[in-house]
A and B are shown apart, each in its own frame.
Chain A
Amino acid sequence: MGVAKYIKDEKDAVKEVIYQSGIKVKPSYGPKDLEEAGFDYEKDLGEPGEYPFTKSILPQSYRSRAWNTRQYTGFGTPEETNKRFKLMIAHGQNGLNVAFDLPTQMGYDSDNPRALGEVGRLGMAVDSLRDFEIAFQDIPLDRIGSGLTINAVATIMLAMYQAMAEEFGYSKNKISATPQMIF
């Protein structure tokens, strides 16, 4: 038992590898294989900054723009989280990565019996739009993009983020937020 089965030739060299899922692959590939597969540089690889973006999403990649620095942050109440956001930005972050507590991540209110002991524990608790407004008070949302580490309720949180930003006077083409899924 192993992750793959190795088929060997008479000289005991590996000529084929079969993965557990049954997919057969060669031990290694070269230019001849690309030719056989009908490889098209324009279509399959492309230039940096162009579809299908295999060589970077930017023409000059991260030489032209530094990547975002955003540490996973958020705990307790929206007020505490807001303080923390400001501290992180003061220390040079150019983005935020918002940590929500487990009840928020799973779509429970803070007063749900299932939320016992978990409110504000692994991130901030969000029960309403007001919590978002407090957490992002005085954050320059046109300059600072946000990653929202949020699971099943991502659509709701993204909508709340937009509603909050518009309330603060940022038009929706000026803001950016990315929902992501972790456990």
Chain B
Amino acid sequence: MRTNKLKIIGEYHLLSKDDVYERKKIRILIAKPGLDGHDKGAKIISLALRDAGMEVIYSGLHQTLDQIIRTAVQESVDVIGLSIMSGAHLPICKKHLEMMKKENTEDIFLMVGGVIPVKDIGVLKEMGVKGVYPGGTSFDVIINGIYGFLGLTPTPPKAA
């Protein structure tokens, strides 16, 4: 069971109704479900999101959905990004969303990237996947997409 899960409301994370915290970094878990071992995409997107000011956790290869959801809960992430190259994106996303519902963790948003045929993008979105980013998507589109479905407006990083 999760406690102290931060919720993003508008520009702020709320710990409970009364505690308004200063805006924190978006936390995101990039995960490799299934048996496919192609992790270049997952690693590159992890770095791009880090450079965009997010806190990124990378799961490593060959994770079960159980492991991924457990990691997401323990790390209190706002978003899970699955990277799938094996063609198993439809059954994996379906099972993942079902498990999130069962675990009562639907407040964590799911996005998916990898080798996703165009005809499957609509199917995934209808299923409840918030962002679908096939190979070749620019980082800007992904970053703005994440801000978009979290209901946030991007803030420019502070000058050093």
Q: Mark A111-137, 1 if CB is under 8 A from B, else 0.
A: 001111110011000000000000000
Is the CB–CB distance between A118 and B34 below 8 Å? yes
Contact of B36 among A102, A113, A116 (CB under 8 A): A102
Contact A105 B64 (CB under 8 A): no
Q: Which residues 92-147 of B have a CB within 8 angstroms of A?
A: 92, 95
Given contacts A116-B95, A117-B92, contact A122 B86 (CB under 8 A): yes
B91 to chain A, nearest CB (A): 3
Q: Do A118 and B86 have beta carbons less than 8 Å apart?
A: yes
Q: State A117–B112 Cα separation when bound (angstroms).
A: 15
A166-183: which have CB < 8 Å to B? 183
In the complex, which of the residues A106, A113, A118, A183 contacts B88, with contact meaning CB atoms closer than 8 Å?
Answer: A118
Q: With the chains together, A118 CA to B84 CA distance in Å? A: 11
B151: Cβ under 8 A from any A Cβ? no
Which B residues contact A (CB, under 8 angstroms)? Answer: 34-38, 62, 64, 86-92, 95
B59 to chain A, nearest CB (A): 15
**A121 and B86 in contact, given A105-B35, A114-B34, A116-B91 (Cβ under 8 angstroms):** yes
Chain B CB count within 10 A is highest, among A103, A115, A121, for: A121
Chain A hits for B36, CB < 8 A = 102, 118, 122
In the complex, what distance in Å separates the CA atom of A178 from the CA atom of B86? 24
Task: Report the separation of the CA atoms of residues A94 and B105 in the bound assembly, to the nearest whole angstrom.
Answer: 54
List 12 A-B residue pairs with CB atoms under 8 Å apart, sorted by A's residue number. A105-B35, A106-B35, A106-B62, A108-B35, A113-B64, A114-B62, A117-B34, A117-B86, A117-B89, A117-B92, A118-B86, A121-B88
